[in-house]
Amino acid sequence: MFTATFHPSRLRGVASVPPSKSEAHRAFILAAMGLGSCRLRGMAQPLCDDLQATLSGLSAIGTKVVQEGDALEVLPVSATEGRVQGMARFHANACAATLRMIIPICWALGQPARITMEDGLWNRPLEAYGPLAERVGGSLRRIPAANGLPAAVEVSGKLVPGEYVVDGSMSSQFASGLLMALSHVSGPARLMVNKPIVSRPYLDMTLKMVELFGGKVEEEAEGIFNILPIREQNPVEITIHRDWTQAAAFICANALGAGVMLEGLSMPKEDEMSLQGDEGILAVFRRMGLSFWNTQHGLYGTNPSRTRFIPLQADCSDMPDLAPFIALICTQAQGTSVLKGLKRLAVKECDRLSATVELLTRLGGVARVSEDGDAIIVEGATCVLGSAGLRGGITVDSRGDHRMVMLAAIAALIADLPVTVMGLECLSKSWPGFLEVYRSLGGIVS
């Protein structure tokens, strides 16, 4: 287990953020299912484990991918020597997006597959696809780890034109996977996503990406989509934007007094809509008192008043992965903050809801999970060391969750003593270069 100690310090400089995982997953899949090669720019190495998992899955069903500098050339299944005969096999690592999006792609191709994975991923919800297995004339079998063999899911069946229903309350990834798959069946299809639809911005991202690849999807009413099959060639080239989810760590650091400019990111223009829902962190932090500027080196944000932040009442259901960072800033607010819509955090890489509260509490903050398990409540004014800092001198377990490592690393910046974190190897899931960037900005890690 990789253990490191983060010391109080002030970050400053220019940080290069990795490519958006959410955009890249969708672009990989749509390029692999389309006609003609597609060049994806902005894919600087090293790619994180999650993106490697999706590429592994697509390779297993016949896609070819060639790395050329910061670009990936994707040669789709239709252009290769032929689909894999028999059962495709690959490892999804711990990536829920890979598992949930590639299952319907296998159904669209009529490709049986055995997908192995880490135990943590096997335990995450997959029930939304249960009713669909019979609908596609196949199966979805979950196999727990046993006798030294990893956990797995086996799928078979064939998606055909027609009407489908999927639960939208667990994750938008199920609906996203089906939208991409149904855009590659032989005729028109209709998808009904049962409400409530969580993380709706990421479903909207899928719709925009399908359109970019030549698809036509009409939303006739909320959550009811009419889908025409894609007949056009893949775009010759597209660019994957930087990842707002990963950038949130350093936006949070700036709120705590750092001076980091985020290369490749900028304040959106009024008439621009980002593909990434987690860009919404800008609006959240502006409500708390931060200001943001576009500089020649990238996006910069700071708290110009140098006082405590305004407490926050926010629904974070569209960006639950950012709630831990927002909760950290809420420890510095002038009063009580309530972050709602977080029940799903309990079934992430770890129980991220309780892990966030535990870490903030050990750092001297006062935080708790609401009785209904859907919110984090933070009492900012009672932080042990006041607005100046947090209490360090602790050792915490990452619980195998990359977000918890980043949260502890950023919190350590304003702690009175260092914070030691066990299990940093999980950073490779989303940002293998996080420690390198953190150190380059002046972060002290031993």
| Shared domain check, 155 and 257 | no
pLDDT at residue number 274: 66
Query: Rounded mean pLDDT of the chain?
Result: 93
* Residue 306 pLDDT grade (very low, low, confident, very high; cuts 50, 70, 90): low
286, pLDDT greater than 90: yes
Q: What mean pLDDT is predicted for residues 20-47?
A: 96
pLDDT digits (tens, 9 = 90+) for 163-191: 999 999 999 999 999 999 999 999 999 99
| Shared domain check, 268 and 191 | no
> Angle 402-411/352-362 helices, nearest 10 degrees?
20
> Angle 402-411/323-330 helices, nearest 10 degrees?
20
CA nearest neighbour of 416 among 379, 378, 381, 364 = 364
Domain count, the chain: 2
| Shared domain check, 398 and 285 | yes
**What sign for the dihedral angle of Cα 317, 320, 326, 327?**
positive
439 domain-assigned: yes
CATH number, domain with residue 398: 3.65.10.10
305, pLDDT greater than 70: no
145 domain-assigned: yes
pLDDT digits (tens, 9 = 90+) for 351-381: 999 999 999 999 999 999 999 999 999 998 6
pLDDT at residue number 307: 63
pLDDT at residue number 115: 98
82, pLDDT greater than 60: no
235 domain-assigned: no
| Shared domain check, 248 and 224 | no
| Shared domain check, 271 and 214 | no
Find tokens 């010391």 and name the residue: 7
pLDDT at residue number 387: 47
| Shared domain check, 301 and 342 | yes
237 domain-assigned: no
User: What residues make up the domain containing 329?
Assistant: 3-17+242-445
54 domain-assigned: yes
* Residue 80 pLDDT grade (very low, low, confident, very high; cuts 50, 70, 90): low
| Shared domain check, 272 and 131 | no
| Shared domain check, 72 and 31 | yes
Asked which of 230, 261, 277 is the last residue of a domain, the reply is 230
Q: What mean pLDDT is predicted for residues 226-233?
A: 95
| Shared domain check, 62 and 160 | yes
pLDDT digits (tens, 9 = 90+) for 102-124: 999 999 999 999 999 999 999 99
| Shared domain check, 375 and 251 | yes
pLDDT at residue number 272: 59
Asked which of 189, 209, 230 is the last residue of a domain, the reply is 230
| Shared domain check, 400 and 267 | yes
104 domain-assigned: yes
| Shared domain check, 269 and 216 | no
329, pLDDT greater than 50: yes
* Residue 384 pLDDT grade (very low, low, confident, very high; cuts 50, 70, 90): very low
